[in-house]
Structure 1
Amino acid sequence: MPLEASTRIVHALAERGYNADREAVTLLAGASDPQAAINRAVEAVPEGTVVVTAAHVKESLETPADERVHTPTGQTDAAQDTDEQHPSVSSGNEPDNSDDMAGTVPVETEGSSRGARSATRSPPDPELSGDIQSTGTGEYGDFVSVFRDRYEKLADQLRGRVNHRPTDAVAEMSGNSDAAIIGMVSDIRTTASGHWLVELEDTNGTFPCLVMKDRDFADDARTLLPDEVIAVEGTLADDAGILFVDSLFFPEVPRTYTPSTADREVEAALVSDVHVGSEEFRGDAWDRFADWLHTEEAESVEYLLIAGDMVEGVGVYPGQDEELDIVDIYDQYEAFNEYLKDVPGDMEIVMIPGNHDAVRLAEPQPAFDEELRDIMSAHDARITANPSTVTVEGVSVLMYHGTSFDEIIAELPDEYAGYDNPEGTMAQLLRKRHVAPKYGGMTRIAPEEEDHLVIEEVPDIVHTGHIHKLGYGTYHNVLTINSSCWQSQTDFQESVNLEPDVGYAPIVNLQTLDLTIRQFV
């Protein structure tokens, strides 16, 4: 069948508000009068159905018009494409023939429906929380507000663990007294003897605390970052001028945390860092991924969560203009939308921005503006802020692009955070209950009326990206996933010695929280 014929069929159906599977398009194009066949097929589609299947077409072609009856909605069967191959699990070493399908069926307006997936399901909409309307003006009061809100939210997580007093009250206590403080780390440094001197600040003042290097929790002091909130308890010195720390507490995720799970067999694909517009964008890998989503093996994958950097952007790093395949930022989003159309039309999609996207760099990043939303119209994707919590089938997923990773990795020892250890970095975020603890460093943080970067509720899954490395693990029963990228190594990445992991798609079973990793390169 000529490609032009299939294109006309799909466009004609789209004008009537329908998608079609591949076999249905073939049957319609092969009819003696394709236009009449389309009209008859549309009449045979049950009310409420949006995808024309081969079964509908066959019924309409074989049954006289006056004898046709509609079947109940949801009772039709989608065509099964037995020739479609899928990539291998994890390694990607086994050959796949998914490229053979490329170009066979053009994409539809709201997402493709080719392949073996059911065409009649309608998964429930994800619930979003965390989207923001920026209120910051950059005035002094905004900075005070965001720090005060951070302190209060995280102090609430710690108050049940220590019998704390305000710093000014501790300063009035006599020497050798037991005391506890909840405070924000305003300064941390090592002494000449190798101990850790931590200055804690609350809403009443500051107080110095000393963590001795021989204490069994001394390594915890090595993970402290400025502006995070912790609790300490210990004994005041003879002159009451310093607190010798006996215990140190983080806001933390409880070790006994039990994650929520879906009540049915359903999966979600978690990806990030697509980078359409880069010369190194791996469109071939994305095509294999999209083709696999149409297979029977991917039938239960009903959600696609994209954690930022849909496009390569413009002016993000030095010399980027020489590595662009698409130089106009709006054209990049147009191209991304075309790739998004290859995803099955019945999938629910949620997207947040990243540091390469056309939103402000300062976090929290508001969702894309209306102009970009209109461009990325495929699937009517749900678009929200970075970070946001998305609840899918009862499972809460904290989506954060991960820009703070660069700073956390630079600040902390290698055994706690690293580009080759993204799961360790995510564990630090959960321990501190904040996605970007350090203020005023490499990570731009906007002063708002409240701190939207605090992890107030424990998520069931943390989904990040940014560093282009695959990593996954669990921290106190929370599943953590950093989902690699769809871009080969750029010259800039080579200059900073970053070797990306390309074309991986973590697939999470939301009923069991089991994780399968697939690679499409």
Structure 2
Amino acid sequence: ETELAKRVVHHILGKGYQVTPQLLDKLLKTKNPVETCSQLLENTGPEDILLVELPTEKKEKKSIETPEEEAPPIHIIQDVTTNSTCTGCYEDFLHLFQDRYKQLADILSVRPGNPPTQISRLPSQGEAYLIGMVTDKRVSKGRDEPITFLTLEDPTGQVDVLLPPTIPENHVAQIVLDEVIGVRVEHRNNIPIAREVFFPDLPARNRHPRTEKDVGVLMLSDLHVGSIKFLEEEFNRMLDWLNMENGDKKQREQAMTVKYVVICGDLVDGVGVYPEQEEELKIDDIYQQYEKAASLLSKIRRDIRIVVAPGNHDAVRGAEPQPAIPPEVAQPLYDLPNLTMVGNPATLELHGIRFLLYHGQSLGDLVETIPGQSLDKPSETMKIQLRKRHLAPTYGRHTVLAPERKDYHVIHQVPDVFHSGHLHINSYSTYRGVVIVNSGTWQSQTSYQKKRNITPTPCRAPLLNLKTMKITELNFSSQGS
């Protein structure tokens, strides 16, 4: 039988393929394995044969180190979980916006030039540097072109500022309500006129912190387990690769580098999230959805740390910041020894590299508000969030904000990696040294998306190497293999 197995293997290798142990066993049980194999290869494409080493020839596998027994730890820098204090009263909202102003004003205050002037002490002539929250933005018809007026407010008062045509049009377009900006003004005819507008922005950086060895972070989001659209077969294909059960030597070596799997929201599809959702559910019980998710994630190697943040479909409060998915509904996930739950947003360190996780619900708000933004290029909108140093600047739109006494959406510490999801479209970029990743989805097109002409990019998993800070997109769809 060993000789026959070798003949079958050599026959498949001669055709340019390799074979899984399971398929080899099935072939050897047929009447004529070599002939059956020939027929199979004639009717099979490359995507239908898994590129894995045979158990009888482990020479290449010996070059791959054995995984560590324990998953690496993570350091949680900021997370609202266990820290929420809001009750929804007026004072909570007041503290939220006061904290937002203070955090962002501290960033804007370090700009070179004159120190900021309080609005209540704005001189009636000369120049001044103001830091204020935008409480109103209105456009009036000018003689030749439209003129924009902003109302800025700080803890001492408010003032109207005119933005002349000399301010770059894209700067003016990107200003949204409730964000904090800096404006250098001069008085003309008793009207403060802006000379320059500043967003808090990130400091310029040319170099990333990096790890000495190859450390892989597999970045996922929007699994929507429980939906009839959840692509379970493709997800299992990814799990097999992650566990080095398929793929050629290079692919398995790549899988071997993975030390973290980060899931950035919408682990399950939830129940009652939108009208008539029950018609698109395969599992209509929230507890069973999390049980199914835990069953899938339990297949991941124990030397890999799994990080799960919630999204708007998960069983947590809808208002952001969201605490971690609670054990009351997701105990099977808490039972996994290598899984860590965090809130949304959350700032973490993985192997010394700082990650900002945010599911991304406010991306839709910014696309609707700022001209030139698009749902199919979420990484460009994520750049705007970094420039504003805020994840959800405008209050009162689709993204509901909980009035915590601290504004957890302020990007106070500069991340090395900014990871979002929500829009179901893979998108990557960099901005001032920050790697930007929107990690797509594992759900095929829904009826909601079809009505709005949104085409998702499912089953494409970005793998970030922390040594090179380069992203490899792994396509586990039936078309990608």
CA distance in 1, matches of 2:46, 2:362: 36
CA distance in 2, matches of 1:299, 1:219: 44
Q: SS in structure 1 opposite 2:151?
A: strand
* Equivalent in the alignment of 1:267: 216
Change (3 A) 1:119 1:160: closer
The amino acid across from 1:346 in the alignment is D
The amino acid across from 1:142 in the alignment is D
- Cα drift, residue 495 of structure 1: 1.6
* Equivalent in the alignment of 1:469: 425
Instruction: Please state if 1:192 is matched with 2:141.
Output: yes
Instruction: Please state if 1:313 is matched with 2:313.
Output: no
- Partner of residue 371 from structure 1, selected from 313, 320, 328: 328
Change (3 A) 1:487 1:98: farther
CA contact (8 A) 1:212 1:218 kept: no
- Cα drift, residue 120 of structure 1: 3.2
Task: With the length of structure 1 as denominator, give the TM-score of the two structures.
Answer: 0.76
- Cα drift, residue 141 of structure 1: 0.4
Instruction: Please state if 1:433 is matched with 2:433.
Output: no
**RMSD after superposition:** 1.9
CA distance in 1, matches of 2:141, 2:411: 36
- Partner of residue 202 from structure 2, selected from 244, 253, 257: 253
Instruction: Please state if 1:418 is matched with 2:374.
Output: yes
* Equivalent in the alignment of 2:352: 394
CA contact (8 A) 2:262 2:306 kept: yes
* Equivalent in the alignment of 1:351: 308
- Cα drift, residue 183 of structure 1: 0.4
Q: Deviations over 1:291-346 (max 9, x none)?
A: 11122231101110100100000111222110000000111000111111222222
CA distance in 2, matches of 1:121, 1:339: 20
CA distance in 2, matches of 1:483, 1:403: 14
CA distance in 2, matches of 1:321, 1:192: 50
Q: Deviations over 1:135-175 (max 9, x none)?
A: 111111000000000000000001021521111111xx223
Residue identity over aligned pairs, in percent, reads: 38
- Cα drift, residue 97 of structure 1: 3.3
CA distance in 2, matches of 1:99, 1:318: 43
- Cα drift, residue 379 of structure 1: 3.9
Q: Deviations over 1:213-255 (max 9, x none)?
A: 2x1523201001111110000211222xx31111111110112
- Partner of residue 209 from structure 1, selected from 135, 151, 161: 161
Q: SS in structure 2 opposite 1:130?
A: strand
CA contact (8 A) 2:167 2:196 kept: no
Q: SS in structure 2 opposite 1:312?
A: coil
- Cα drift, residue 95 of structure 1: 1.3
Q: Deviations over 1:469-490 (max 9, x none)?
A: 0000001110000000000011
Change (3 A) 1:123 1:261: farther
- 4+ residue runs over 4 A deviation: 98-101
The amino acid across from 1:136 in the alignment is C
Q: SS in structure 2 opposite 1:346?
A: coil
CA distance in 1, matches of 2:117, 2:177: 21
- Cα drift, residue 420 of structure 1: 1.3
- Cα drift, residue 96 of structure 1: 4.8
Instruction: Please state if 1:226 is matched with 2:184.
Output: no
* Equivalent in the alignment of 2:231: 282
CA contact (8 A) 2:308 2:340 kept: yes
Q: SS in structure 1 opposite 2:88?
A: coil
Change (3 A) 1:142 1:98: farther
CA distance in 1, matches of 2:129, 2:68: 59
* Equivalent in the alignment of 2:56: none
* Equivalent in the alignment of 1:498: 454
CA contact (8 A) 2:72 2:304 kept: no
Q: SS in structure 2 opposite 1:95?
A: helix
The amino acid across from 1:203 in the alignment is P
Q: Deviations over 1:111-139 (max 9, x none)?
A: xxxxx772335453011122222211111
* Equivalent in the alignment of 2:105: 155
The amino acid across from 1:118 in the alignment is T
Q: Deviations over 1:179-232 (max 9, x none)?
A: 11000110112111212111111011111111112x152320100111111000
Change (3 A) 1:408 1:489: same
The amino acid across from 2:371 in the alignment is P
The amino acid across from 1:381 in the alignment is L
CA distance in 1, matches of 2:319, 2:227: 23
CA distance in 1, matches of 2:139, 2:129: 21
Q: Deviations over 1:424-465 (max 9, x none)?
A: 111011000011111111110000111111100000000000
- Partner of residue 135 from structure 1, selected from 85, 93, 107: 85
* Equivalent in the alignment of 1:236: 187
CA distance in 2, matches of 1:208, 1:272: 42
* Equivalent in the alignment of 1:332: 289
CA distance in 1, matches of 2:462, 2:257: 14
CA contact (8 A) 2:424 2:456 kept: yes
CA contact (8 A) 1:123 1:348 kept: yes
Change (3 A) 1:99 1:436: farther
CA distance in 2, matches of 1:418, 1:257: 27
CA distance in 1, matches of 2:295, 2:71: 23
CA contact (8 A) 1:187 1:199 kept: yes
- Cα drift, residue 100 of structure 1: 10
CA contact (8 A) 1:399 1:462 kept: yes
CA distance in 2, matches of 1:390, 1:222: 32
- Partner of residue 167 from structure 1, selected from 119, 128, 145: 119
CA distance in 2, matches of 1:379, 1:393: 19
Instruction: Please state if 1:118 is matched with 2:66.
Output: yes
CA contact (8 A) 1:277 1:313 kept: yes
- Partner of residue 291 from structure 1, selected from 229, 240, 248: 240
CA contact (8 A) 2:120 2:157 kept: yes
Change (3 A) 1:202 1:451: same
Decide which moves more: 347-356 or 252-261. Answer: 252-261
- Cα drift, residue 263 of structure 1: 2.4
Q: SS in structure 1 opposite 2:467?
A: coil
CA contact (8 A) 2:355 2:417 kept: yes
Task: With the length of structure 2 as denominator, give the TM-score of the two structures.
Answer: 0.82
Q: Unaligned regions of 5+ residues in structure 1, if any? A: 1-21, 24-92, 102-115
Q: Unaligned regions of 5+ residues in structure 2, if any? A: 1-19, 22-44, 54-63, 245-251
Q: SS in structure 2 opposite 1:378?
A: coil
CA distance in 2, matches of 1:380, 1:267: 16
